[in-house]
Structure 1
Amino acid sequence: MNKLKLPDSLKDIEVVINRKKIKNIIIKIDDECKIKISLPFGVPNNYVEKIIEKREKWILEIISQKKKIKNNFDENFIYLGKSYQIQINNSMEEFCQLKNGKFYINIQKNSFENRKKLIDKWICENFYDLMIELTMTIGEKIGYTPIKIKFRDMKTRWGSCNSMKKSITYNHQLYKKSIYFIEYVVLHELAHIPYPHHQKTFWEFIEKIMPDWKERKKLGNI
């Protein structure tokens, strides 16, 4: 534990201080809800304490978010709109498996960080392939296919399309949504290849291919 004097709300939180050759102070909250601080040599503890006090509200908000995510991983795995109970097995061979209505995590060292890595690996190997196949199938059907398909975490959108490069990027978190909604996202991004805007012609194209797109779209609050 640290020797810093922290606000009462943070007294039970572990703080890890790393002094190194940098110019600025960097504060991060890791997946285990520890406060990690990187700072230049020579910065006194009382200065760090003042910074933590000023950022107390932000730190508590991030910790709260991290705990919610952690609890979700501890209890259930959401995939394609369905919830699966997580079962953790100690195993030298590490892998995840969706089987018989449960999501199995076979893991050697059971920690949140290791579980998250295994789950992300499973998503890359299973969901990404599904998305690529779905995109190409719908794209061939409507006559527009992308040259490149990418995935990354996005906070405000489920997908994006670079019409000039014919490149589509999907939100990694889409794996939690139902196929009913995912199909809408795929069509929406593919439609941007011929229509790089949200004007009337774009929505007319969507309507022609997917008449129930409005109902599907409602399922995608982000």
Structure 2
Amino acid sequence: MAEVQLGDITVDVVFKDIKNVHLSVCPPDGKVKIAAPIRMNLDTIRVYAISKLAWIKQQQRKLREQARETPREYLNLESHYVWGQRYLLSIAYSENAVGVFLKHRKIVLRLPPDSDQEKKQIMLEAWYREILKQAAQPLIAKWASVLGVTVSKVFVQRMKTKWGSCNPKAQSIRLNSELAKKAPACLEYIVLHEMMHLLERHHNDRFMALMDSHMPNWRSQRDELNRAPLGYENWGAL
């Protein structure tokens, strides 16, 4: 581990067995991290970081300005979101028919009488993962056909810093379960974005051109995601 100082910004540098430099501005406070190839000189990394200084400050500003959800308490009539729409939570206790159901404008959470807040959270988050997986499968099939690529594995999980990721070598993609709370168009944008990395690994001009040709309005979907409230995280527990 090393550090590079850019004025009042400290950049944490980690050397890894990789070929390219990876720069991240991480929530919640905009901490800057660089993963660099093992043999890369620290002065070279400093020059690279300086070249990205304007982008770093822009990302830090976005993180400071972005709204965040308050901690969820999983109480009756608490607001939760599904596919961009607001629903009220309805807690029902039962020994039978345990599960999560949408009924009108409510998310009905039916669980055993002795269930605590943690159990409610576990059940609801599992439900979000499941509905996201179901919604993502036809989108993946659609874009696999259009792009001529194959997705071998799809993972859905809670991700703190990304909406999705792709492993081109393993032909796998990961999707943030929080996408189930956002508008469906946002999910399709992320699915296409990650699958596009099977054709082009880097966010270069070719990648942008491919996105433009297949989803001309992708920037508006990206901006909608950037404006959406971030899920609450107990960052102090990391």
- TM norm structure 1: 0.65
Identity percentage over the alignment? 28
Q: Is the CA contact 2:132–2:156 (under 8 Å) kept in the aligned structure 1?
A: no
Question: CA deviation digits over 1:33-72, x for unaligned, max 9?
Answer: xxxxxxxxxxxxxxxxxxxxxxxxxxxxxxxxxx93224x
Give the corresponding residue for 1:70.
72
Partner Cα separation in structure 2 for residue 112 and residue 175 of structure 1: 21
One-letter identity of the residue aligned with 2:71: I
CA-CA distance at 1:214 after TM superposition: 0.9
Is 2:203 aligned against 1:198?
A: yes
Partner Cα separation in structure 1 for residue 129 and residue 189 of structure 2: 21
Where do 5+ consecutive residues of structure 2 fail to align?
1-68, 231-238
Q: Is the CA contact 2:129–2:157 (under 8 Å) kept in the aligned structure 1?
A: no
SS of the residue aligned with 1:70? coil
One-letter identity of the residue aligned with 2:216: P
Partner Cα separation in structure 2 for residue 168 and residue 122 of structure 1: 20
CA-CA distance at 1:125 after TM superposition: 2.9
One-letter identity of the residue aligned with 2:105: G
CA-CA distance at 1:157 after TM superposition: 1.0
Structure 1 or 2, whichever has the larger Rg, is: 1
CA-CA distance at 1:145 after TM superposition: 2.9
SS of the residue aligned with 2:71? helix
SS of the residue aligned with 2:170? coil
Q: Is the CA contact 1:70–1:112 (under 8 Å) kept in the aligned structure 2?
A: no
Is 2:159 aligned against 1:147?
A: no
Is 2:166 aligned against 1:164?
A: no
**Structure 1 residue corresponding to 2:90, chosen from 73, 87, 91:** 87
Q: Is the CA contact 1:158–1:171 (under 8 Å) kept in the aligned structure 2?
A: yes
Q: Is the CA contact 2:129–2:180 (under 8 Å) kept in the aligned structure 1?
A: no
Partner Cα separation in structure 2 for residue 123 and residue 215 of structure 1: 24
Structure 2 matches for 1:177-192, cutoff 5 A? 177-192=182-197
Partner Cα separation in structure 2 for residue 159 and residue 207 of structure 1: 19
What is the root-mean-square deviation of aligned Cα atoms in Å? Answer: 1.7
One-letter identity of the residue aligned with 2:199: P
One-letter identity of the residue aligned with 2:154: I
Give the corresponding residue for 1:209.
214
Partner Cα separation in structure 2 for residue 69 and residue 139 of structure 1: 37
Is 2:106 aligned against 1:107?
A: no
Higher RCO structure (Cα 8 Å, ≥6 apart): 2
* More helix per residue: 1
SS of the residue aligned with 1:84? strand
Where do 5+ consecutive residues of structure 1 fail to align?
1-66
**Structure 2 residue corresponding to 1:119, chosen from 120, 124, 135:** 124
> Aligned pairs, how many?
155
Q: Is the CA contact 2:128–2:180 (under 8 Å) kept in the aligned structure 1?
A: yes
